[in-house]
Amino acid sequence: MTDKTADKGKHIRDLAFFPIVFNAVGLPIIFLLYAVSPGYYVDPGTLNTVVLASLFPPWWGFAFLVTRRLKRKGLSIKECIMPKSKFNLLPALLLFVLLNFLFEGYMVVALMYGRIPPMTDLHLLQIVFFLLLVPLTAGFTEELIWRGYFIDELLSAGNSETKAIIYSSVSFAFIHGFLLFDKLIVTFLFGMIAGLYYVRQRNLLVLMSTHVAVDVISYALTIFAFG
């Protein structure tokens, strides 16, 4: 077995393993919360607070694992994050518009039709949690792992750009859960757009900042616009 073949197998296993861990943490907590709640009802604010808080260890744990692997290859986290080509404003604006149109459009429709319940009566700390801590954590760690690390590793292992983008996008979609099929489709498309931008522009900072903005607006809609 060649080194490239071995690397391909390792990365495919990781792409499957990372979502399994996220769901193995989140799904039991969801079921447990409903099981112990009177009338099997949990208000959306409490549910999202507990579930997302439980995902901080996988988020940062996998980010730490990725940085360790990069160090073994002689790469620092700064080298991975810093742009590898000249910044182009038009593709960055197009990325921002497309990702926000995709995800915020989905959120508006999902909230309007009850697919995703709004979060009401949140405490100030919960609002800070949803509008600051979660977006910063998800934007940084998810782009670092699924774009900056996995796509580069898949390309180095001999995969085409198309395969690298698709593989990372499928894995990225499944970290957002197995239960909402429509959300899987939206997050897969999110990953495809982000992956295409990354292989063309090589600017992880733009992806991270755009991802953070998408999450902030999404949670703001859930808390304020439909609350």
User: How many Cβ atoms from other residues are within 10 Å of residue 13's Cβ?
Assistant: 10
Task: Answer whether residue 2 shows pLDDT above 70.
Answer: no
121-164 confidence digits (pLDDT tens): 899 999 999 999 999 999 999 999 999 999 999 999 889 999 99
Joined tokens for residue 174: 């499944």
Contact 182, 106 (CB under 8 A): yes
Nearest to 55 by CA among 127, 152, 118, 129: 129
157-199 confidence digits (pLDDT tens): 889 999 999 999 999 999 997 778 899 999 999 999 999 999 9
Backbone angles phi, psi at 27, to 5 degrees: -65, -45
Distance CA 172, CA 165 (A): 10
Distance CA 19, CA 161 (A): 21
State the chain's maximal CA–CA distance in angstroms. 57
Place 214 in a pLDDT band, splitting at 50, 70 and 90: very high
Count of all residues that appear for the chain in the document: 227
pTM of the full predicted structure? 0.94
Question: Which contiguous run of DSSP H or E holds residue 153?
Answer: helix 150-156
For all residues of the chain together, what is the average pLDDT? 92
Task: Quote the distance between the C-alpha of residue 48 and its chain's center.
Answer: 15
Domain spans of the chain, in order of start:
3-225
